[in-house]
Amino acid sequence: MNRITPTSTDTIACTRRAFLQKGLVLVSTAATVPSFLNEAAFGLWNPFDQPLTTSQPGKPDNHILVVVQLSGGNDGLNTVVPYGMDQYYRSRPGIAIRPNDTLKLGNDTADLGFHPNLAGLKELHDSGLLATIQGVGYPNPNRSHFTSMDIWHTGDPTNPNTTGWIGRYFDNTCNGSPDPDAGISIGRESPHALSGDLHKPVEFESPDLFKWIGEDVQPALAEPYTKICEHAAQRNSAGRPTKKQAETGYASQRNFLTRTSMNAQVSSDRIRAAVRLQPLVEYPASPLANQLRTVAAMIQADLPTRVYYVTLGGFDTHAGQPGSHANLMRQLGSSLLAFSKDLKAQGNDGRVLTMTFSEFGRRVGENASRGTDHGTAAPMWLMGPMVRPGVLGNHPSLTDLDQGDLKYTVDFRSIYATILQSWFKADTHQVLGRSFQPAQVLRT
């Protein structure tokens, strides 16, 4: 990528304030200071060497993806209820949703309805803002929570130990230049989907806990700050890096970025200021609603983030499923509806595509504990005015099963391919390792 070379009239924008506002943490403890003060740090700090942009010509910079992960394996059959199929009731005599209780989706949906607590999603469905994609899975499904989630995160059923699919998208943006503001995850753990070779996401559980440690250790930063600025001045006067810098500094930026604490790549002050914005609609009181309210606030504040990631857990319903699953359905539907209304009130709804998924569904038959065990295919949702609304794809057969489990009808990677190609205008093959036929789930 082209770099700016300063002229004789340019001044060095290397002030203490600018240094302290940079996202990179150059020190967290005294023991780590020396390893950070290498040629890679000096090369990275040069204010005239920062990327001009993290996008390529023609890329939709204003497009945002919000991922809602349902952890534990959501029971798709009690979520999108096939109340018109007798086998559903024969397989689940104790936990099936009765026909009169389902929120019916219309005459063209083969007698399908939402769980009675998904009134929020039903409203989105009726408003033409929701795509329900049936039977999503992948070949040779894995029923382990960890392995299956890794497969969804990496987009690679054959090698789930590789980098995340969104992380690879970021790595390939602008010829691999890392984009520190690109992905933000809200939760206790950063999802593997956002991690690439170069890109590491910002993650925090609470905005109040997200604070750049540099503000508390300014005395320790004084010496490295001075050295970096002196080196930047020398580089600027020369106008180009020395041979040693080219061989050692720039070549090791990849290692430098990996070593550096990436949680501080987006200014903590800016994020905390953003989430203090009051929502334009009322949100329900639930953990997922709180996460989505935070995301909506950051979108309203126009942070340069392209992917936000939130998680709702508790879907591993092996026993006593009806009560716990009903509570999760209520939280999911009401939270997504409030989030959609907030985005519309901001005028940002056309910029934000929301995707909801779970690592697998549940088995067709209930177990002896009024629950369901690990299964395979399940529905996904895409939300926003850019989706093709309605119920998309064919519901899997309840009689033609794979060891008691549903056979998938839609490969999840075709959904990823659609998001990459149609929403982000990215090279699908470069990210997913091969080409997939995009699913016809978006208007764009």
Q: Which of 223, 251, 279 is the last residue of a domain?
A: 251
Note whether residue 440 is domain-resident.
no
Report how many domains make up the chain.
2
* Same domain (yes/no): 200, 104: yes
Whether residues 125 and 32 share a domain: the answer is no
Considering the domain architecture, whether residues 20 and 127 belong to the same structural domain is answered as no
* Three-class SS state of 6: coil
- The 8-class DSSP code of residue 110 comes to S
Q: Are residues 102 and 185 in the same domain?
A: yes
Conformation bin of residue 153: beta by default, left when phi > 0, alpha when psi is -120 to 50: alpha
Please check whether residue 58 lies inside any domain of the structure: no
Instruction: In whole angstroms, give the CA distance from residue 268 to residue 22.
Output: 10
Do 175 and 284 lie in a common domain? yes
Specify whether 190 is located in the same domain as 231: no
Tell me, yes or no, whether 232 and 272 share the same domain.
no
CA distance 380 to 392: 10
327: phi then psi, degrees, rounded to nearest 5: -65, -40
The answer to whether residue 10 sits within a structural domain is no
Give the largest CA-CA distance in the chain: 81
262 in any annotated domain = no
| 126 and 274 assigned to the same domain | yes
β-pairing, 390-392 vs 130-137, is parallel
| pTM of the predicted model as reported, rounded to 2 decimal places | 0.78
Q: Are 235 and 371 within one domain? A: no
Domain assignment present for 258: no
CATH code where residue 144 lies: 3.40.720
Q: Are residues 282 and 239 in the same domain?
A: no
Judgement on whether residues 400 and 294 belong to the same structural domain of the protein? yes
Asked, for residue 304, whether it belongs to a domain, the answer is yes
Is 371 within a domain?
A: yes
- How far apart (Å, rounded) are the C-alpha atoms in residues 316 and 323? 13
**Residue 97, Cα to own-chain centre: how many angstroms?**
31
Domain region containing 40 = 16-50+213-251
Same domain, 241 and 354: no
Kindly state the tokens that stand for 125: 């469905």
Asked whether residue 7 is assigned to any structural domain, the reply reads no
Tell me the pLDDT of the chain (444 aa) as tens digits.
Answer: 333 333 333 333 444 444 443 433 333 333 333 343 344 344 433 433 433 334 444 566 689 999 999 999 999 999 999 999 999 999 999 999 999 999 999 866 679 999 999 999 999 999 999 999 999 999 999 999 999 999 999 999 998 889 999 999 999 875 545 555 678 999 877 899 999 988 878 777 766 555 444 444 445 554 554 555 455 455 545 555 555 555 555 444 444 444 444 444 445 677 777 888 899 999 999 999 999 999 999 999 998 899 999 999 999 999 999 999 999 999 999 999 999 999 999 999 999 999 999 999 999 999 999 999 999 999 999 999 999 999 998 899 999 999 999 999 999 999 999 999 999 999 999 999 998 989 999 996
